[in-house]
């Protein structure tokens, strides 16, 4: 058994156990539990358009008195949850029973793919894609109310169309600026790094007096200062931005600014997001987050992204993340072996040179025989 397939099996068991815990708690599962029973009348049908309120859970405290969020909170258990819902789902926050059964069947195939490949001595997407669940929600997005991303501004549409990335079909490559930040193994972008992905979905939270640290399995570690220190000047930017947090009761509230502009806010590998990683981040983009424990084993994460330069309205996602302290981080050794940047450039230049030679040869061949100059 490969290390990755073992990880699949372990995370699958823990994700299923966490889903059972969520349903029993009634957080994301209150409507789900109601759906599993046959209501006697239409009046008893569950309301699928509203999230239930968070319980008034009192978490344990750190030695210095802050709510204790420490632990493993990987989001592979939400990897199959699309960012946007379909137009037909309207304002429904939760799936119908029929929709849930269809999605769960697809997720079960994904959970079993790694072990099936390993047993057949093959290596494919089953051992590559690590999505162990999706839950009963229709989408990551909870605002706008229709669960759809708002329109881009005119400037946003133009910037998106002009963006450069290895994911753009038929694009040419001449230098590193023809690639996005993920192509170059620098960053998945922010807030993109906090959203479910195909693999390496590990998130681990550490705390110390005056700070909260979020370690990501893929490309980056966030440091959130809660000691009241000021944000640097606006021209001091970072891939994860500058984060400042404070506590509102038992909720960690974070605002992140000073983001680099040459990165996409949504990674194309988050299901239902934007394609190609070509939309940049606006100069005044801002991310607001809320981290709240709904119980000892469930972290509710809410994030609102605001970028008036490229988006016509803010948008908000929510994830109810099950604790999984047994989740192992695997080294994301991307930059060390990233020969594809050079290979893309070399092959693109070679292809264009071949095409130019072929065009030149075709032009010569198309000339009439008597067009040669007389002596």
Two tokens at 67? Answer: 């709510």
Q: Which residues contact 315 (CB under 8 A, 6 or more apart)?
A: 141, 143, 144, 149, 150, 304, 305
Model pTM score: 0.85
What is the CA 27 to chain-centroid distance, rounded?
Answer: 22
Q: What is the pLDDT of residue 304?
A: 98
Strands 251-257 and 286-295: antiparallel
Q: What is the pLDDT of residue 126?
A: 81
Q: What is the pLDDT of residue 31?
A: 33
CB 18, CB 339: distance < 8 Å: no
Over the chain (375 residues), the average pLDDT of each successive run of 10 is 43 44 40 33 71 95 98 94 96 95 89 87 82 90 97 98 96 96 93 93 97 95 97 96 98 98 95 95 98 98 98 98 94 84 96 95 83 54
Residue 73 to residues 89, 109, 225, 293, 343, Cα–Cα distance (Å): 29, 23, 20, 11, 36
Beta strands in 217-308 (DSSP E): 221-225, 242-248, 251-257, 286-295, 298-306
Q: What is the pLDDT of residue 125?
A: 83
CB 66, CB 94: distance < 8 Å: no
Q: What is the pLDDT of residue 109?
A: 86
Closest CA to 334 of 169, 237, 200: 200
How is the chain split into domains, by residue range?
3-322, 335-363
Q: What is the pLDDT of residue 372?
A: 54
CB 17, CB 325: distance < 8 Å: no
Q: What is the pLDDT of residue 21?
A: 40
Q: What is the pLDDT of residue 19?
A: 45
Two tokens at 264? Answer: 């996409």
Burial 80-97 (b: 16+ CB within 10 A, else e): bbbbbbeeebeebbbbbb
Two tokens at 200? Answer: 């390496």
Residue 237 to residues 176, 184, 242, 282, 297, Cα–Cα distance (Å): 20, 18, 7, 12, 34
Q: What is the pLDDT of residue 34?
A: 30
């Amino acid at each position: 058994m490969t290390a990755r397939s073992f990880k699949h099996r372990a995370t699958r068991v823990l994700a299923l156990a966490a889903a059972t815990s969520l349903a029993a708690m009634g957080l994301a599962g209150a409507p789900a539990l109601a759906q599993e029973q046959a209501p006697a009348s239409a009046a008893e049908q569950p309301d699928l358009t509203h999230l239930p309120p968070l319980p008034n859970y009192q978490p344990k405290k750190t030695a210095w008195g802050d709510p204790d969020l420490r632990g493993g909170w990987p989001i592979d258990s939400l990897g199959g949850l699309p960012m946007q819902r379909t137009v037909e789902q309207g304002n429904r926050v939760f799936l119908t029973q029929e929709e849930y059964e269809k999605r769960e069947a697809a997720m079960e195939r994904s959970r079993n793919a790694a072990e099936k490949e390993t047993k057949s001595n093959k290596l494919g997407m089953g051992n590559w894609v690590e999505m162990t669940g999706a839950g009963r929600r229709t989408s990551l997005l909870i605002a706008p109310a229709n669960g759809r991303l708002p329109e881009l501004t005119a400037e946003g549409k133009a910037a998106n169309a002009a963006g450069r990335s290895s994911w753009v079909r038929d694009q040419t490559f001449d230098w590193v600026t023809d690639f996005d930040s993920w192509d170059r193994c620098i960053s998945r972008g922010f807030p993109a790094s906090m959203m479910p992905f195909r693999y390496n979905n590990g998130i681990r939270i550490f705390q110390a007096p005056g700070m909260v640290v979020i370690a990501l399995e893929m490309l980056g570690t966030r440091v959130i200062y809660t000691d009241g220190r000021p944000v640097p000047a606006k021209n001091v930017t970072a891939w994860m931005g500058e984060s400042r947090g404070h506590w509102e009761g038992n909720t960690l509230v974070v605002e992140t600014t000073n983001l680099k502009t040459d990165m996409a806010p949504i990674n194309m590998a988050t299901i239902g997001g934007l394609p190609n990683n070509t939309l940049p981040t606006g100069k005044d983009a801002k991310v607001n987050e809320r981290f709240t424990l709904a119980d000892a084993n469930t972290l509710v994460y809410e994030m609102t992204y605001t970028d008036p330069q490229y988006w016509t309205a803010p948008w908000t996602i929510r994830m109810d993340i099950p604790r999984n302290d047994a989740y192992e981080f695997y080294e994301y050794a991307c930059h060390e072996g990233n020969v594809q940047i050079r290979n893309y450039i070399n092959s693109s230049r070679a292809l264009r040179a071949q095409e130019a030679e072929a065009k030149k040869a075709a032009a010569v061949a198309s000339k009439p025989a008597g067009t040669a100059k007389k002596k």
